Chains A and B, each alone.
Chain A
Amino acid sequence: MPIKLHGYPQPDICDELLDAALQPRPAARVLFDYVNRLGTAELMARRASVDAAIMAMGITFTVYSDAGNIDRVWPFDIIPRTMSLQEWAHIDAGLKQRLTALNLFIDDLYNAQRIVKDGVFPLEVLAGSQNFRAQCRGLTPHFGVWAHVCGTDLVRDKDGTVYVLEDNLRVPSGVSYMLENRQLMKRLFPELFKSSDILPVDDYPTRLYDTLAALSPRPGERPVIVVLTPGIYNSAYFEHSYLAQKMGAVLVEGSDLVVQSDDCVYMKTIAGVSRVDVIYRRVDDDFLDPEAFRPDSSLGVPGLMRAWRAGKVGIANAPGAGVADDKVVYTFVPQIIKYYLDQDPLLPNVPSWMCMYDDQRDHVLANLDKLVVKPANESGGYGMLIGPRASVEERRQFADLIRANPRNYMAQPTLSISTAPTLFGDRFEPRHIDLRPFVLQSKDLHVTAGGLTRVALRAGSLVVNSSQGGGSKDTWIVNTREA
């Protein structure tokens, strides 16, 4: 008996798995046939067993405000999000194009600044960037790449267009959940992986290792790679530990490392100190090196920037890469692609208004009830205004914020973000989702097959961040062509 649908059909919203007639789209057909054959009772039983597995495996994330209980179980929906390989191939190419251009852009900003001199990127945007690090001027890391690991968030609007919502170029997280979700699905629905052609994602740790190893200052030898974590209280600690384990890297905290007078980085071991070649850092720039950035940071390593500048250690992502991870800089990405690659962008940006320009700001202030306004440098969905859902008072307060610091804000229309069927009790209900593919770049350029699908578990909610009640789904890129 087919699983019941509740909350469908939805006017003006595109569903990833079901078409307008509520029939499964081609990439979801095998899945739907399968779960309908399983039936409600069996599906619910399997969900219960997967919940128990998540609990036992300790797949967790941390909520800052949860004093006393620092980790929570990762909310996971067992119905995967599907996409056809054909559509995915286009997104894959678009992401490669985008990250190639963004890395050229970052490298240019820290060196000749041609794009500014040529009048394509305004000097005042650069001047107002909180993430531009003067300490990085004049440097060109290996391969000219600064953002080695990027998580780009994509959403689909009601007309079916997939837009880029933002590029996370600092310390993007979530990839461990992508990997764990797939492991869980293989435990849960082994039959489906046999009968349909789903692209694998398990090669990520190897790809990440290769990306990092290519940054070693001592080529030819087996590099010593460490993952630098802020520690157990960081929301992504699980992921730091997970990736270190999967790559065979050492998980370190700032206090485990020391930079000595030869400018090399060492880790403190029970047998003395031992040299480190590459640091995959999951600590923000600000906290990386108290000598170079925030002097009060206890998470970082004094002298790390000195070691990096001297070419004695590879750091991913490079300090300063966050300059392109700024929602105002984001609005220029189409021009950035055109400027460096002389190509039209394959993936569109969401149309945006920049509050730094008088006419655009006036438009934003006059239409606050229709727009989503985002601060330039926040992540995790913090500090933004969702106009249509805000009260009059909230909108008034936000207007003051914008007037006080226009460079810090940009606005976008509220999209009708697509949904996917999500299991609640014994039925499927639509929930809004996004997609975060991960892009690796150093010697090679690689995009994960799919990525992390985040889902807003509260009915009608658009906020998918795990820190604010979001969960996740496995993402299946399905080859629908008959072999």
Chain B
Amino acid sequence: MLSRVAENLYWMGRYLERAENTARFINSTTQVLLDLPRDASFGWNVLLKVAGLDHEFASRHEHADEDSLMSFLVEDEANPSSILSSIQNARENARTVREVLPMEIWERINSLYLYIRDNAPRVKQGRGPRNDVLLGVIGRRESIIGLLTGSMSRDVAYQLIKMGRNLERADMTTRIIDVNAAVQLPADPAQASLTTLGMWMSTLNALSAYQMFRTHVGVHVRGDAVVNYLLRDPHFPRTVLFCLEQIEGSLSVLPDHAPAMRRVRHAWRRLAGMQLDGLKPAVLHEYLDQVQSDLAAIHGAVAKQYFHRHQSDSTGQAQ
């Protein structure tokens, strides 16, 4: 496999995951926000913080009102992480590797792109149409995953796409948890407790983990239990631990994987060593930073080993 092709497959996997995660997060936040007390400082800008785009948004918009924010997150081509940009990038990556993908994958990615291109403006037409559009993105993206799973050999190309997906997914999980560390709770204890509950439910919902959490952990949603679940549950497919295991599996199929594998094991050990009982927000934030930098180190090792051969004269894609 060419290094350049490997890099494009990996990024295709990442961008598709990013688009779907953003769509899911917008939908779940919309639902939870409606239930929160008015004075909880948990507003739409939470979405910007997760994506790490609050500064970028602030430089171009005065108010984080719902419409301008949705437009920014979904259809703004100048925002490199908007859903439209992510899908465009995934499609451009797919275009350069069409010959190693099953023909139908390209058709599906292309039609996902055509769908979001044509429908993105509807996200400003209210919550109903927005929900429809975002569900449309999620459904189409899931069908791509289904097709990959059902029609592609577990070859190097498949593993690279999967690795990109799992790295992006683990990173997004930490970002979504991290939002809660930044929330100022209301002074009134009853209100504060309600807010906390809402926040953690929102977190689980954003990761489609609410139902699984209740089934496997318990009906009571408590902060440290949620964090522990989302970071270290070995069975739910969006937890950091699960993603690390998947990355390890993908790497084992690739040649010369020892350096990247060392970074995965390092991340794993640090994850296992975290003390999560009675967790304080500041410590949580520090832990999440640590996971994110460990994931970045895995990405760095993968890029160095597999992608940089062809890159002596160009830079890689943006994270």
Residues in chain A within 8 A of chain B (CB atoms): 55-58, 231-232, 237, 241-242, 244-245, 249-253, 255-256, 267-271, 298
Do B310 and A268 have beta carbons less than 8 Å apart?
Answer: yes
Known: A250-B2, A268-B2. A256 touches B256 (CB 8 A): no
How far, in angstroms, from A4 to B306 measured CA to CA in the complex? 60
B57 at the interface (CB under 8 A from A): no
Chain B: interface secondary structure? helix
Give the docked Cα–Cα distance between A249 and B99 (Å).
Answer: 9
- Among B1, B92, B111, the residue within 8 A (CB) of A269 is B1
Partner of A256, one of B2, B92, B111: B2
A57 touches B107 (CB 8 A): yes
Q: Which of B81-123 contact A (CB under 8 A)?
A: 92, 95-96, 98-99, 103, 106-107, 110-111, 114
Asked if B315 is at the interface (CB within 8 A of a chain A CB), the reply is no
Enumerate 15 A-B pairs (CB-CB under 8 Å) in ascending A order.
Answer: A55-B114, A232-B96, A237-B95, A241-B95, A242-B99, A244-B99, A255-B4, A267-B2, A268-B2, A268-B3, A268-B4, A270-B1, A270-B3, A270-B6, A270-B254
Contacts of A249 in B (CB 8 A): 99
Are B99 and A56 interface neighbours, CB within 8 A? no
B91 to chain A, nearest CB (A): 9
Q: Is the CB of A255 within 8 A of B255?
A: no
Contact, CB under 8 Å: B2 / A58: no
B96 neighbours in A (Cβ, 8 Å): 231-232, 241
The 3 A-B residue pairs whose C-beta atoms are closest, nearest first, are: A245-B99, A271-B255, A268-B309
Q: A56-B111, A232-B92, A241-B99 are in contact. Are A269 and B3 (CB under 8 A)?
A: yes
- Compute how far the CA of A374 lies from the CA of B98 in the bound complex, rounded to whole angstroms: 37
Q: Residue B277 at the A interface, CB < 8 A?
A: no
Instruction: List the interface of chain B (C-beta within 8 A of A).
Output: 1-6, 92, 95-96, 98-99, 103, 106-107, 110-111, 114, 156, 254-256, 305-306, 309-310, 313-314
Given contacts A245-B98, A252-B2, A269-B1, whether A56 and B254 have CB atoms under 8 Å apart is: no
Residues of B within 8 A of A244 (CB): 99
Q: In the assembled complex, which residues on chain A have CB atoms less than 8 Å from the CB atom of B95?
A: 58, 232, 237, 241
Nearest chain A residue, comparing its CB with the CB of B4? A256
CA distance A268 to B6 in the complex (A): 11
A sample of 6 more A-B contacts (CB under 8 A), given A255-B314, A271-B256, is: A241-B99, A245-B99, A245-B103, A249-B99, A251-B99, A270-B1
For A56, the chain B residues whose CB sits under 8 A away are: 107, 110-111, 114
Closest residue of chain B to A248, judged by CB?
B99
The answer for the CA separation of A244 and B96 in the assembled complex, in Å, is 12
Cα-based distance from A250 to B3 in the complex (angstroms): 12
A67 to chain B, nearest CB (A): 13
Contact pick for A241, options B6, B98, B305, CB 8 Å: B98
In the assembled complex, the Cα of A382 lies from the Cα of B92 at a distance in Å of 29
Indicate whether A270 sits within 8 Å of B107 (C-beta atoms), given known contacts A255-B314, A256-B2: no
Beta-carbon contact of A270 and B99 below 8 Å: no
Closest residue on chain A to residue B255 by CB atoms: A271
On whether the beta carbons of A58 and B106 are closer than 8 Å, the reply is: yes
Give every chain B residue within 8 A of A270 (Cβ-Cβ): 1-3, 6, 156, 254-256, 305-306, 309
- Distance in Å: Cβ of B113 to nearest Cβ of chain A: 9
Contacts of A231 in B (CB 8 A): 96
B100, chain A: closest CB distance, angstroms: 8
| In the bound complex, CA of A252 to CA of B111 (Å) | 26
**Which chain A positions have C-beta within 8 A of B107?**
56-58
Complex CA distance for A387 and B59, rounded to whole angstroms: 56
Contacts of B3 in A (CB 8 A): 256, 268-270
CB distance from A377 to the nearest CB of B (A): 30
B98, A253: Cβ atoms closer than 8 Å: no
Q: How far is the CA of A313 from the CA of B192 in the complex (A)?
A: 72
Chain B residues contacting A252 (CB-CB under 8 Å) are: 2
**Does the CB pair B310–A255 fall under 8 Å?**
yes
Bound state CA distance, A232 and B94, in angstroms? 11
Most chain B beta-carbon contacts within 10 A, residue among A55, A256, A270: A270
CA distance A270 to B306 in the complex (A): 5
Docked pose: A253 CA to B8 CA in angstroms: 13
* Cα–Cα distance between A237 and B1 once the two chains are bound (Å): 20
Judging by beta carbons under 8 Å apart, are B2 and A269 in contact?
yes
Report the minimal beta-carbon distance from B12 to chain A, rounded to whole angstroms: 13
CB distance from A329 to the nearest CB of B (A): 35
Interfacial chain A residues near B103, Cβ < 8 Å: 245
- Complex Cα–Cα for A237 and B97 (A): 11
Q: Which residues of A contact B306 (CB under 8 A)?
A: 270
When chains A and B are docked, how far (Å) is the Cα of A253 from the Cα of B99?
13
Which of B110, B114, B313 is the most central at the interface, judged by chain A CB atoms within 10 Å of its CB? B110
Q: Give the residues in chain A near B309, CB-CB below 8 Å.
A: 268-270
B313, A255: Cβ atoms closer than 8 Å: yes
CA distance A251 to B110 in the complex (A): 20
B259: min CB distance to chain A, Å: 13
